[in-house]
């Protein structure tokens, strides 16, 4: 098991909260999960908050995001599934860094199998061995995993070769406008075949129009996320207007 010294434990000098963005199951017409998106206490966006994260406080920030997401989703709906983004650079030892997450889940009576940890292709991953170890530990503890922004670059493919997560989230840059883009359609077809052969569920993110939704639905994508369905909300879980799925104008 990889083991790395951590020099990133400086306490946060700011507080955070979470906005929740639904991931929908279009076959069942119900919410499958909610992605927890970091926000400032005055509603500041993720970019502004992340700009305050550095090598000294990254561990504290990562831990705070995990525990805040679990605390808030448990207060809203203990039967929900929550997707939590994590920062590989904040983890020096998978077992140790996961301990507080599991303690908070138990404290708030939130089942660990309802937690999905996402790592993004955007995140610079310098130690693939460590990331592989992280995913293996999470799976052994009954947590589920996802590679976010899949299809944006080669990082996701390299990671997929080392570890097969429960979910692949198709990058929104590939999804937006896919209904009339043959190149994007061809790339998605390859991702679908890869996921099917590895028994991995796909989540398409960034759906903003009915046409893109319809193409993805006809392509067999079951799980989707995007402003077409709802926008992220703070302090409550967004409602879904399922009538948008019948809109054929």
What does the pLDDT profile of the chain (249 residues) look like in tens digits? 444 445 567 889 999 999 999 999 999 999 999 999 999 999 999 999 999 999 899 999 999 999 999 999 999 999 999 999 988 878 878 888 899 999 999 999 999 999 999 987 555 556 677 888 888 999 999 999 999 988 776 567 777 888 899 999 999 999 999 999 999 999 999 999 999 999 999 999 999 999 999 999 999 999 999 999 999 999 999 999 999 888 655
pTM as predicted: 0.92
User: Given the structure tokens 């940890």, which residue do they identify?
Assistant: 117
Alpha carbon 49 to its chain's center: 17
Domain covering 16-246: architecture: Alpha-Beta Barrel (3.20)
Of the candidates 212, 192, 210, the one whose C-alpha atom is nearest the C-alpha of residue 151 is 192
- Is-contact 115 143, C-beta < 8 A? yes
Helix/strand/coil for 203: strand
């Amino acid at each position: 098991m990889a083991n790395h010294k951590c020099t990133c434990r400086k306490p946060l000098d700011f507080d955070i909260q979470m906005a929740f963005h639904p991931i929908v199951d279009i076959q069942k017409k119900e919410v499958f999960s909610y992605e927890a998106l970091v926000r400032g206490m005055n509603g500041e966006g993720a970019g502004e908050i992340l700009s305050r994260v550095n090598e000294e406080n990254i561990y504290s920030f990562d831990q705070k995001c995990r525990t805040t997401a679990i605390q808030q989703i448990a207060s809203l709906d203990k039967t929900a599934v929550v997707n939590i983004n994590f920062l590989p650079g904040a983890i020096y030892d998978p077992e140790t860094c996961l301990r507080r997450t599991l303690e908070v889940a138990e404290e708030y009576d939130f089942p660990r199998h309802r937690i999905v940890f996402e790592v993004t292709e955007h995140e610079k991953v310098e130690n693939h061995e460590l990331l592989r170890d992280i995913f293996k530990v999470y799976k052994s503890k009954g947590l589920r995993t996802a590679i976010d922004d899949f299809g944006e670059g080669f990082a996701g493919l390299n990671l997929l070769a080392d570890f097969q997560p429960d979910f692949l989230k198709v990058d929104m840059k590939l999804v937006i406008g896919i209904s009339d883009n043959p190149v994007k359609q061809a790339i998605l077809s390859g991702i679908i075949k890869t996921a099917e052969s590895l028994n991995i569920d796909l989540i398409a993110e960034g759906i903003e129009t009915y046409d893109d939704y319809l193409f993805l639905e006809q392509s067999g994508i079951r799980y989707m996320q995007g402003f077409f369905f709802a926008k992220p909300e703070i302090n409550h879980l967004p409602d879904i207007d399922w009538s948008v799925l019948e809109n054929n104008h």
